[in-house]
Amino acid sequence: MVEAGPGAGRPRVRFAPSPTGFFHVGSARTALFNWLFARQTGGTFVLRIEDTDAERNREEWVEGIVSAMAWLGLDADEGPFRQSERAPQHAAAVDRLWQAGALYACDCSRDQVEERTRGNPTPGYDGYCRDRGLERGPGRALRFRMPDGGVTVVHDVVRGDVEFPNDAIEDFVVVKSNGQPLFVLANVVDDIDMAITHVIRGEDLLPSTPKAQVLWEALDGGDLPVFAHLPMLVNEQRKKLSKRRDPVAVESYRDQGYLPEALVNYLALLGWSPPGGREIVPVEELIRDFRLYDVNHSPAFFDLQKLAHMNGEYIRALALDEFVARCAPWITGPAAPWPAGRFDEAVFRRMAPLVQERVSTLGEVPGMVDFLFLEEPTVDEQAWAAVVRDEAAGDIVARAIDTYRSCGWTVDDLHRATAELAEAVGRKLGKAQAPIRVAVTGRRVGPPLFEALAVLGRDVVLGRLQAAQARLGTPAGG
């Protein structure tokens, strides 16, 4: 319990993920909304890892949660706590509930329950052991005695009042027959002990909330927390984001070169809209403007294109030095597509502003500049096929070799010389450039051609044009 003191009266929120898989973007959104609310209100953000399901939990997924949150900048004020280390508190709570008569022991097997309840109008347990007076013991589950009749109302910030008729809620299991307390019990005991005032979490947990409330009251937990169930995230087909079909792992966004500040900005828009309709909202402004009470209940479309677009905007807003520094894992590490030692930072820096304008993730950067650091450019097959189909390509390449042998070598010189070449072959400059670009860089898209040629230098450019000419089978000289 938290003592009255400087923080008294301030919200205490928690993010309580179960480490059963990769850290999901939906979980990241939940963590972010909790964190924003805590930072805005001067409250406390608690991280609690709900790791009691030993069969489904893995240590690497705990690490994944912790590192993804650090990457996103969602720092916890307390924790990470491990729910699995709080077994004594859970057991003590069960004892108290048992002594108060809130629980009863049950020795029904799953098959027996199924057989008895088949065809019942209300699904779930039929209360068979309610009045059998069984003692607690090995092999017996403990069930919570739901009140007969009446309704449990969840006052939800996002969804308004949601009513659950008590008769529709079965006498749910709080301790399994193997003695293991279930999620709903551990979750409520921890929320009470950690003095949580606001439970902000995914909408998938709303159905378990009436159970949480009756337990909270049976445990004399004091004032119920404020509940806010955040809308689910859906894909383009308006289906719930699926671990199998959709790219949901925060780690994969990090690895593709999304910037954490862009992802934070984007996640904040999933269920909430900043005032004034603006979309690029840096985190300080999110903290200032976010309103838990304005979160919308309709499903939020997780729009990959919009996220990529927003990431591109964040990339373009970086100062050059910062951009170069952020590119490091992709261009100087072992994952870079060129042999170690061939990378030249000065060359990269020269090209960087042009690259920065053209990428939407940092992961696209190597493909934009690999022609500078590879002995031979990686030739895109489709791009090359287009060159082969272009009957003027041989002539253009031959003329380019002639022209580039003797022209000046600044960006302007190269531009002028190539424009003259285009005129001579009766093509627009853009179209005339295409075979030259593919021959020299291997691709159809990339940084502006004349900058690329200027940086590569005359010898390399001529060498690549000659190689392309040989591949095209055009006799030297056109």
> Binding of ligand GLU at residue 146 (CB under 6 A)?
no
Rounded distance between C-alpha atoms, residue 151 and residue 420, angstroms: 83
Site string for ligand GLU, 325-344 (x = CB under 6 A): --------------------
| Element (DSSP H or E) covering residue 157 | none
How many residues at the interface with ligand GLU, by CB under 6 A?
8
Give the orientation angle of helix 429-441 with respect to helix 393-406, to 10 degrees: 80
Rounded distance between C-alpha atoms, residue 300 and residue 307, angstroms: 13
Contact window for ligand GLU (CB under 6 A) among 13-21, 282-290, 370-378, 402-410: 13-21
User: Cα–Cα distances in Å, from 43 out to 28, 68, 196, 198, 382?
Assistant: 19, 22, 11, 10, 56
Name the residue nearer to ligand GLU (CB basis): 117 or 208: 208
Q: Which of 187, 311, 356, 418 binds ligand GLU (CB under 6 A)?
A: 187
Write the DSSP string, 246-306: S--BHHHHHHHT--HHHHHHHHHTSS---GGG-----HHHHHHH--GGG---SPEE--HHH
Name the residue nearer to ligand GLU (CB basis): 16 or 76: 16
Rounded distance between C-alpha atoms, residue 209 and residue 6, angstroms: 30
Classify 8 as helix, strand or coil. coil
Site string for ligand GLU, 371-400 (x = CB under 6 A): ------------------------------
The Cα angle at residue 68 between residues 275 and 289, in degrees rounded to 5: 15
Contact window for ligand GLU (CB under 6 A) among 198-206, 288-296, 352-360, 404-412: 198-206
243 is catalytic: yes
> Binding of ligand GLU at residue 17 (CB under 6 A)?
yes
DSSP 155: E
Contact window for ligand GLU (CB under 6 A) among 15-23, 37-45, 95-103, 134-142: 15-23
Name the residue nearer to ligand GLU (CB basis): 31 or 449: 31
> Binding of ligand GLU at residue 274 (CB under 6 A)?
no
Name the residue nearer to ligand GLU (CB basis): 215 or 440: 215
Classify 178 as helix, strand or coil. coil
DSSP 225: P
Name the residue nearer to ligand GLU (CB basis): 199 or 263: 199
Write the DSSP string, 338-406: S-TT---HHHHHHHHHHHHTT-SSGGGHHHHHHHHHSSSPPPPHHHHHHHHH-TTHHHHHHHHHHHHHH
Tell the smallest beta-carbon distance from residue 81 to ligand GLU (Å): 12
DSSP 182: P
Q: Which of 13, 18, 283, 311 binds ligand GLU (CB under 6 A)?
A: 18
Q: Which of 102, 205, 417, 436 binds ligand GLU (CB under 6 A)?
A: 205
> Binding of ligand GLU at residue 19 (CB under 6 A)?
no
> Binding of ligand GLU at residue 209 (CB under 6 A)?
no
User: Cα–Cα distances in Å, from 213 out to 74, 90, 203, 457?
Assistant: 28, 16, 16, 72
> Binding of ligand GLU at residue 201 (CB under 6 A)?
yes
Name the residue nearer to ligand GLU (CB basis): 14 or 39: 14
Name the residue nearer to ligand GLU (CB basis): 36 or 449: 36
Residues 452, 441 contacting (CB under 8 angstroms):
yes
The neighbour count for residue 214, using CB atoms within 10 Å, is: 22
User: Cα–Cα distances in Å, from 330 out to 38, 325, 337, 361?
Assistant: 35, 10, 9, 11
> Binding of ligand GLU at residue 13 (CB under 6 A)?
no
Of the residues 176, 239, 243, 428, which is catalytic?
A: 243
Q: Which of 11, 13, 16, 355 binds ligand GLU (CB under 6 A)?
A: 16
Tell the smallest beta-carbon distance from residue 65 to ligand GLU (Å): 10
Name the residue nearer to ligand GLU (CB basis): 16 or 232: 16
Rounded distance between C-alpha atoms, residue 288 and residue 275, angstroms: 11
Name the residue nearer to ligand GLU (CB basis): 61 or 384: 61
Site string for ligand GLU, 449-468 (x = CB under 6 A): --------------------
Tell the smallest beta-carbon distance from residue 277 to ligand GLU (Å): 31
Tell the smallest beta-carbon distance from residue 188 to ligand GLU (Å): 9
Tell the smallest beta-carbon distance from residue 83 to ligand GLU (Å): 8
> Binding of ligand GLU at residue 50 (CB under 6 A)?
yes
> Binding of ligand GLU at residue 271 (CB under 6 A)?
no
Tell the smallest beta-carbon distance from residue 17 to ligand GLU (Å): 5
For residue 337, whether the previous peptide bond is cis, meaning omega lies within 30 degrees of 0, is no
Write the DSSP string, 87-129: HHHHHHHHHHHHHTT-EEEE---HHHHHHHHTT-SS-S---TT
N-to-C CA span, the chain: 85
Contact window for ligand GLU (CB under 6 A) among 197-205, 236-244, 282-290, 453-461: 197-205
> Binding of ligand GLU at residue 359 (CB under 6 A)?
no
Identify the bridge partners of residue 103 per DSSP, sorted by sequence position: 144
What are φ and ψ of residue 218, in 5° steps?
A: -65, -25
Let me know how long the chain is: 478
Catalytic site positions:
243
Residues that bind ligand GLU (CB under 6 A): 16-18, 50, 187, 199, 201, 205
